[in-house]
Amino acid sequence: MPIPNIIAIDGPAASGKSTIGYQLAESLAYLFFDTGLMYRAVTWLALARGIEIADETAVTALAEEVPIEVTPPSQKDGRTCDVTVDDHDITWEIRKPEVEANVSVVSAYPGVRTALTQQQRRIGLRGRVVMVGRDIGTIVLPEADLKIYLDASAEERARRRYTEILGRGGSADFNEILSKVIARDRIDSTRAIAPLKPADDAILLDSDHLNAEQVLQKVKELCLN
């Protein structure tokens, strides 16, 4: 059986889908595409052009009118891909604090989500891609050759995030992280547009009792079976 040309990995926050998706894409020499980058790109565009983030109509128009490109990394500076707008490399600019502070508002706009779904499809349908998000298998690329829904309990996902923060020398409160994870799950799974849920034909992979290496091995096996 040939290796799937289009691979979709969905799952809740902190399920490890970005880490696994990137490692899988690297092993296959595929494009790794975390769709959250596009929402950051639109946020950056709005800020750069002096558009009020609260102006839903204007922000939506940006998402509809401005092509955003996501391509394999051109530089070895830690990036997982290149993000460009009007031939301008904004890969690192979309990581700035002002973008981080506003992207949740932009990503909630229905018109933005609809427009970016089309942009994500444009790139995903080129093939040789591992696309990661919350609605890839259900909305963005329902024709994906392999759909994986990577899950873990809220407690396990909170523990991983807690351990990660401590490992970086930071301080964290486990119960606070857990409450945020549960709240994010509720928002993602109950939103009117593209709610978080497994595609009917997705393969569910519970990573509660698996480390990252074990999850990656299972995903690789799914690509070869």
Check residue 1 and give its pLDDT: 62
| Residue 22, Cβ density class (10 Å: 0-12 exposed, 13-18 middle, ≥19 buried) | middle
Kindly list the strands in the beta sheet with 203-206, ordered across the sheet, starting from the edge strand earlier in the chain. 31-34, 129-133, 6-10, 146-151, 203-206
Are the CB atoms for 10 and 202 separated by under 8 Å? yes
Residue ranges in the chain whose pLDDT is less than 70: 1
130 has which bridge partners? Answer: 7, 32
| pLDDT in the model for residue 65 | 96
Q: C-alpha distances in angstroms, 141 versus 47, 120, 155?
A: 29, 8, 30
Provide the 10 A C-beta neighbour count for residue 114: 15
Identity of residue 114 = T
Can you list the domains of the chain with their CATH numbers?
6-153+202-220 (3.40.50.300)
Residue 57: the pLDDT is 98
Give me the amino acid identity at 98: E
CA distance 188 to 182: 10
pTM over 0.85: yes
The span from the CA of 188 to the CA of 170, in Å, is: 27
Positive or negative, the CA dihedral 85, 86, 87, 90 is negative
For residue 2, what is the DSSP state?
P
